[in-house]
Amino acid sequence: MDNTRGIVLQRFVLKLNAGAGIAALRTFLIFTSLAVGGLFLIIQPAGVAAQQSGSTDHPSYLGQLERYRNHTLEHFRLEEERQARASRLEDSIQLHKIQRGETLGGIANVYGVELASLAYWNNITNPHRIREGDVLHILTVEGTLHQVAKGDTLTALASRYSVDKQKISDFNMLEAALLEEGNRLVIPGAKTLTGKVEKEPAVLTLASRGGVQAPVFRWPLWGTITSHYGMRAGGFHFGLDIAAPYGTVVVSAASGIIDYTGVQRGYGLMLTVDHGNGWSSLYAHNSSLLVSEGQRVSAGTPVAKVGASGNATGPHLHLEIIQHGKKLDPMAYLP
């Protein structure tokens, strides 16, 4: 966050300096032309007297001075217009440096943008595969961001996004029709083409479950289900118990970041994985842990070994799937 703010501040100061410079230069030139003009008025009568002629012709340098002044003012007008366009372009994209523990869904929420759009603007096909320190581009104006790919042309982009070619060129202040690969172009007024992201099942799997996006879960180990989620003797069971031999490797059920590792009463040696969008999974009763907090894991990354720590009568994994603090039935999410 600090770094992002640093970048923005730096840009702001640069802009401020450029603006102040222009204003100062203009003041100087206007003052100079007034001074020269004043000097001319003082000198002129003497000149006329010396010529001893009644000529009313303007000396040519007065015209030159006038042209010079007009030219200078026109130059400033164009320069100001260019600066305004540059500011608009610069302000249209905000940068966000990803901090530890942040998820793409969370960042999208903070900026009030669609997760799919944010992913598209940054060429992210798997929202769970973002790294701490990566810088995200966030569009703040209506439209979408397009990262120039090899072979892209203005004409092709215009037709792809149904936006006038000139509009794209103007907004992005493109000097030539040549597009630089990897550059991000603002496509003003365009809709984000989310097709690329929709192909990734991790984003939209749970569209049918009330529009809530859930990660794709896999089984964390092979074993025998010994206790289901729900009421049982002694109270409600908030997880799924899977028995397996002591030391069996437990893998992360989905990609994410290790949120917590440690010992908790009843759970024994446990860990949780943050999958983003408020989703996490919990693995309890382990004999050992293979990961540390803050570590990024994929679905299938070994995270622990089966044990009987905490309240357990034999070696088994107690698995929980949690969304925004609510413990859900893991069987509903496992394939």
Of 168-176, 197-205, 316-324, 326-334, the window that binds Zn ion (rule: CB under 5 A) is: 316-324
Q: What is the 3-state secondary structure (H, E, C) of the chain?
A: CHHHHHHHHHHHHHHHHHHHHHHHHHHHHHHHHHHHHHHHHHHHHHHHHHHCCCCCCCCHHHHHHHHHHHHHHHHHHHHHHHHHHHHHHHHCEEEEECCCCCCHHHHHHHHCCCHHHHHHHCCCCCCCCCCCCCEEEEECCCEEEEECCCCCCHHHHHHHHCCCHHHHHHHCCCCCCCCCCCCEEEEECCCCCCHHHHCCHHHHHHHHCCCCCCCCCCCCCCCEEEECCEEECCEEECCEEEECCCCCEEECCCCEEEEEEEEECCCEEEEEEEEECCEEEEEEEEEEECCCCCCEECCCCEEEEECCCCCCCCCEEEEEEEECCEEECHHHCCC
Least Å distance between CB 124 and Zn ion? 35
Of 74-82, 97-105, 181-189, 318-326, the window that binds Zn ion (rule: CB under 5 A) is: 318-326
Q: Which is nearer to Zn ion, 116 or 303 (CB)?
A: 303
Least Å distance between CB 316 and Zn ion? 7
Site for Zn ion in 231-270 (CB under 5 A): 239, 241
Least Å distance between CB 328 and Zn ion? 14
Q: Which is nearer to Zn ion, 172 or 280 (CB)?
A: 280
* Residue from 146, 185, 318, 322 in contact with Zn ion (CB under 5 A): 318
Q: Which is nearer to Zn ion, 146 or 318 (CB)?
A: 318
Q: Scan for tokens 């799919």, then name that residue.
A: 116
Is 285 among the residues that bind Zn ion (CB under 5 A)? no
Q: Which is nearer to Zn ion, 79 or 329 (CB)?
A: 329
Q: Which is nearer to Zn ion, 241 or 274 (CB)?
A: 241
- CA triple 177-182-187, angle to 5 deg: 60
Least Å distance between CB 240 and Zn ion? 7
Q: Which is nearer to Zn ion, 257 or 270 (CB)?
A: 270
Of 153-161, 173-181, 217-225, 317-325, the window that binds Zn ion (rule: CB under 5 A) is: 317-325
Closest-by-Cβ residue to Zn ion is: 318
Least Å distance between CB 313 and Zn ion? 11
Least Å distance between CB 303 and Zn ion? 17
Q: Which is nearer to Zn ion, 102 or 241 (CB)?
A: 241
Of 160-168, 295-303, 310-318, 324-332, the window that binds Zn ion (rule: CB under 5 A) is: 310-318
Q: Give the interface with Zn ion as residue ranges (CB under 5 A).
A: 239, 241, 318
